[in-house]
C-alpha cells in the first residue's frame, strides 16, 4: 500500500471480511499487537534486537515498538526500514525485500543479538529470500541470529508465561480486577495441578501439560 490516507481504527473493519484482499491488514496487526502488549506481563529477556521491515510498514512497526518500550523501558529494540534496491525503491512492501538488501544495508550497524524478519520476506520453506540468499547466509554475513516472525500481533503471546496466558483469557471475558484474576488463575492451576508451572512458557511444557 502506498496511499497517504490514515489507517482507520480497528473497529471500523468489523469482522475483517476483506482481509484476504489486504483490506484492514494493518489495523488488525496493530490492534493485535497493542492488545498483546497490554496483556503480557513477561519482562524483556535483555537481548538487543533489531526488526527489519519494508519502508511501507516502517511507521507502523516503529509505533508498536515504541508502545512496547513505554511499558518495558528496559526493552532494547530498534526498527530498520529496508529500501528495496533489488526490485526498485518504489517497491516498499516487506514481502519483496531480499536478503542481499538486508545484508548490504545492515552491515556494520549495531543490530544486536537477534534480527527479527517477517515470514513474508521468505519463500514458502522459510529458508530463502527471493534473491536466493538463505537465512543462514544472512546470519553469517551479519553475525546475528535471525528470528522469523508471523504477521500476527498475538505471536507475542508465545513469549508469555502460563500465568499470563490464563490471565489473558480472563481479561478477554471482562474480568479486570488484578486480585480477582490472580485468585482465579491460581484456583484453576490448583485444579489442573499446574501451580508449579505458572512461570514457565507454554513451549517449555510437555504435551500433557499443555492439554491441561
DSSP state of 205: S
User: Which run of H or E residues covers position 106?
Assistant: helix 99-106
Strands 114-118, 49-54: pairing kind: parallel
Q: For the chain, what is the mean pLDDT?
A: 82
Q: What is the pLDDT of residues 134-181, one digit of tens each?
A: 999 999 999 999 999 876 655 555 556 788 778 877 876 788 788 888
User: Which run of H or E residues covers position 118?
Assistant: strand 114-118
Q: What is the pLDDT of residues 85-136, one digit of tens each?
A: 999 999 999 999 999 999 999 999 999 999 999 999 999 888 999 999 999 9
- Terminal-residue alpha carbon distance, the chain: 43
Amino acid at each position: 500500500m502506498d496511499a497517504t490516507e490514515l489507517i482507520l481504527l480497528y473497529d471500523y473493519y468489523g469482522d475483517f471480511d476483506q482481509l484476504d484482499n489486504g483490506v484492514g491488514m494493518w489495523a488488525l496487526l496493530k490492534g493485535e499487537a497493542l492488545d498483546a502488549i497490554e496483556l503480557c506481563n513477561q519482562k524483556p529477556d535483555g537481548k538487543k534486537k533489531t526488526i527489519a521491515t519494508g519502508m511501507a510498514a516502517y511507521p507502523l512497526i516503529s509505533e508498536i515498538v515504541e508502545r512496547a518500550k513505554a511499558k518495558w523501558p528496559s526493552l532494547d529494540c530498534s526498527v530498520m526500514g529496508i529500501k528495496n534496491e533489488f526490485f526498485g525503491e518504489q517497491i516498499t512492501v516487506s514481502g519483496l525485500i531480499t536478503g542481499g538488501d538486508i545484508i548490504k544495508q545492515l552491515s556494520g550497524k549495531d543490530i544486536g543479538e537477534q534480527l527479527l524478519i517477517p515470514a513474508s520476506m521468505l519463500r514458502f520453506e522459510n529458508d530463502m529470500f527471493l534473491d536466493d540468499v538463505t537465512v543462514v547466509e544472512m546470519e553469517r554475513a551479519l553475525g546475528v541470529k535471525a528470528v522469523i516472525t508471523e504477521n500476527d500481533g498475538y505471536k507475542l503471546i508465545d513469549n508469555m508465561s502460563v500465568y499470563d496466558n490464563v490471565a489473558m483469557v480472563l481479561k478477554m471475558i471482562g474480568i479486570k480486577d488484578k486480585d480477582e484474576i490472580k485468585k482465579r488463575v491460581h484456583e484453576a492451576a490448583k485444579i489442573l495441578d499446574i501451580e508449579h508451572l505458572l512461570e514457565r512458557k507454554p513451549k517449555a511444557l510437555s504435551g500433557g501439560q499443555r492439554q491441561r
